[in-house]
């Protein structure tokens, strides 16, 4: 089982090579032993620490390797921590740090450089796991991945129409499940969810006993349509905070989270060179905060906010996240000029501090 973290990691490569992959979300509660403090300082990205716990804790012996992207300093250091932790396990542990350009898909040089990074990732995986690349398998895998992403975007479209009926954390659960599943197996589940939700809209609701039922139950909510529509952006945030926003009357109509909508965005066109196609598709998506495309990203987010009818934006930053801290003042200014106030929320990727957040969020909703 191969772990991965950053949304710039094309899962299609793992599927083509026949490797099972598993996205780490930093679910480090329950049976996982705390491993992070042995390798990382306390003032380190809490998501990174949680991913190390999830990947290397005692409860998860099946992980045989990890692919991280050099998307921020935290992930670069996390690769080092995984390497040490892997060596301590005694068995050979695969660690790969994917080189990632800082520019989005406009420049051909960036695309070619990223394609070359992807090619070398596939090469290293092939030799470590003794598996072979096959273009035919790639195109099959690509189709399944594209279909999953299309259906997820459909879910987001449905949510944008009636955010008061959707639980934001439930939607992220579905995206999370997609990031951990074999795509051809997950497709019918996702299809069932989308059909059932469309049935809700048309008044012909039905829930079958499939795995879709549990995800569906978590997705549904009966909020008031009078509550202000909101956009949630920034670092991945604990589900309890999303539930709190909704409990206080906010309706989350859209997000720009790497564990959320951004995961659903890459559109990869088939071409003669699979790696070039992947590089173009993944880099061409709306860039994440660490990319050098501030204004382009902001104008996209503003148009997303307008499309969602959002009256406010909640910007979440993980503690010690430099990319968020640098971006936030510019982001706030950009949205203030557009007449949309932004609420800054900081967490340590845990449910702690909910009551302080209650005041902050409620005051913001009162302001709206």
Long-range contacts of 180-187 (CB under 8 A, 24+ apart): 180/22, 180/23, 182/15, 182/20, 183/11, 183/15, 183/141, 183/144, 183/145, 183/147, 183/148, 184/144, 186/148, 187/144, 187/147, 187/148, 187/151
Q: Which is nearer to other proteins, 62 or 356 (CB)?
A: 356
- In the complex, the smallest distance separating the C-beta of residue 52 from other proteins, rounded to whole angstroms, is 24
Structural element, H or E, at residue 341? none
C-alpha distances in Å from residue 351, one per residue of 59, 178, 237: 22, 24, 9
Piece of 191-199, 203-211, 233-241, 349-357 that binds other proteins (CB under 8 A): 349-357
- In the complex, the smallest distance separating the C-beta of residue 321 from other proteins, rounded to whole angstroms, is 15
Q: Which is nearer to other proteins, 309 or 353 (CB)?
A: 353
Does residue 366 interact with other proteins by CB under 8 A? yes
- Count interface residues toward other proteins (CB under 8 A): 11
Does residue 325 interact with other proteins by CB under 8 A? no
Binder to other proteins among 201, 217, 338, 367 (CB under 8 A)?
A: 367
Does residue 360 interact with other proteins by CB under 8 A? yes
- H helix runs in the chain, sequence order: 11-16, 36-39, 46-56, 73-89, 108-129, 135-161, 168-180, 183-201, 212-219, 239-247, 274-284, 294-308, 322-337, 354-367
Does residue 350 interact with other proteins by CB under 8 A? no
Q: Which is nearer to other proteins, 188 or 341 (CB)?
A: 341
Show contacts with other proteins in window 327-346 (CB under 8 A).
341, 346
- In the complex, the smallest distance separating the C-beta of residue 312 from other proteins, rounded to whole angstroms, is 12
Closest by Cα among 43, 52, 112, 128 to 85: 52
Piece of 139-147, 177-185, 258-266, 351-359 that binds other proteins (CB under 8 A): 351-359
Does residue 356 interact with other proteins by CB under 8 A? yes
Q: Which is nearer to other proteins, 147 or 362 (CB)?
A: 362
- In the complex, the smallest distance separating the C-beta of residue 235 from other proteins, rounded to whole angstroms, is 16
- In the complex, the smallest distance separating the C-beta of residue 286 from other proteins, rounded to whole angstroms, is 27
- Rounded distance, CA 144 to CA 153, Å? 14
Backbone angles phi, psi at 166, to 5 degrees: -120, 140
- In the complex, the smallest distance separating the C-beta of residue 200 from other proteins, rounded to whole angstroms, is 32
Does residue 31 interact with other proteins by CB under 8 A? no
Q: Which is nearer to other proteins, 338 or 367 (CB)?
A: 367
- In the complex, the smallest distance separating the C-beta of residue 81 from other proteins, rounded to whole angstroms, is 26
Backbone angles phi, psi at 258, to 5 degrees: -70, -20
- In the complex, the smallest distance separating the C-beta of residue 333 from other proteins, rounded to whole angstroms, is 11
- In the complex, the smallest distance separating the C-beta of residue 363 from other proteins, rounded to whole angstroms, is 4
- In the complex, the smallest distance separating the C-beta of residue 354 from other proteins, rounded to whole angstroms, is 11
Does residue 61 interact with other proteins by CB under 8 A? no
Does residue 143 interact with other proteins by CB under 8 A? no
Does residue 363 interact with other proteins by CB under 8 A? yes
Q: Residue 270 has which token pair?
A: 């088939």
Instruction: Give one word for 252, left, alpha or beta, with left for phi > 0 and alpha for psi -120 to 50.
Output: beta
N- to C-terminal Cα separation, the chain: 46
- Rounded distance, CA 151 to CA 192, Å? 10
> Do 255 and 168 contact (CB within 8 A), yes or no?
yes
Piece of 19-27, 84-92, 249-257, 348-356 that binds other proteins (CB under 8 A): 348-356
- When computed from its CA atoms, the radius of gyration of the chain, rounded to whole angstroms, is 20
Q: Which is nearer to other proteins, 292 or 336 (CB)?
A: 336
Backbone angles phi, psi at 69, to 5 degrees: -105, 145
Would you tell me which residues interact with other proteins (CB under 8 A)? 341, 346, 353, 355-356, 359-360, 362-363, 366-367
């Amino acid at each position: 089982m191969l772990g991965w973290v950053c949304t710039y990691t094309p899962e299609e490569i793992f599927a083509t090579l026949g490797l099972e992959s598993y996205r780490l979300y930093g679910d480090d509660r329950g049976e996982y032993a705390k491993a992070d403090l042995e390798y990382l300082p306390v003032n380190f990205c809490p998501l990174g620490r949680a991913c190390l716990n999830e990947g290397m804790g005692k409860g998860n012996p099946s992980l045989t390797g990890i692919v991280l992207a050099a998307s921020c300093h935290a992930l670069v250091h996390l690769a080092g921590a995984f390497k040490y932790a892997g060596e301590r396990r005694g068995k050979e542990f695969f660690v790969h740090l994917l080189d990632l350009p800082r520019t989005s898909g406009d420049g051909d040089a960036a695309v070619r450089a990223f394609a070359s990074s992807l090619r070398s990732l596939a090469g290293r995986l092939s030799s470590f796991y003794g598996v072979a690349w096959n273009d035919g398998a790639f195109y099959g895998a690509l189709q399944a991945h594209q279909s999953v992403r299309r259906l997820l975007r459909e879910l987001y479209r449905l949510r944008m129409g009636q955010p008061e009926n959707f639980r934001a954390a439930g939607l992220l659960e579905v995206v999370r499940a997609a990031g951990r599943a074999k795509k051809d197996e997950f497709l019918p589940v996702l299809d069932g969810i989308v059909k059932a939700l469309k049935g809700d809209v048309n008044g012909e609701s039905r829930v079958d006993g499939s795995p879709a039922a549990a995800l569906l139950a978590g997705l549904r909510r009966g909020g008031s349509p009078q509550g202000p529509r909101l956009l949630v952006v920034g670092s991945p945030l604990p589900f309890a905070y999303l539930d709190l926003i909704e409990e206080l009357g906010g309706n989350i109509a859209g997000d720009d989270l790497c564990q959320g909508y951004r995961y659903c965005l890459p559109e990869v066109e088939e071409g003669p060179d699979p790696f070039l196609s992947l590089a173009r598709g993944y880099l061409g998506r709306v860039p994440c905060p660490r990319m050098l495309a501030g204004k382009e990203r902001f104008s996209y987010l503003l148009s997303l906010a307008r499309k969602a009818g959002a009256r406010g934006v909640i910007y979440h930053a993980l503690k010690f996240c430099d990319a968020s801290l640098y971006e936030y003042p510019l982001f706030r200014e950009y949205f203030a000029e557009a007449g949309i106030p932004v609420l800054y929320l900081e967490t340590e990727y845990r449910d702690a501090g909910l009551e302080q957040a209650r005041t902050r969020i409620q005051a913001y909703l009162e302001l709206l």
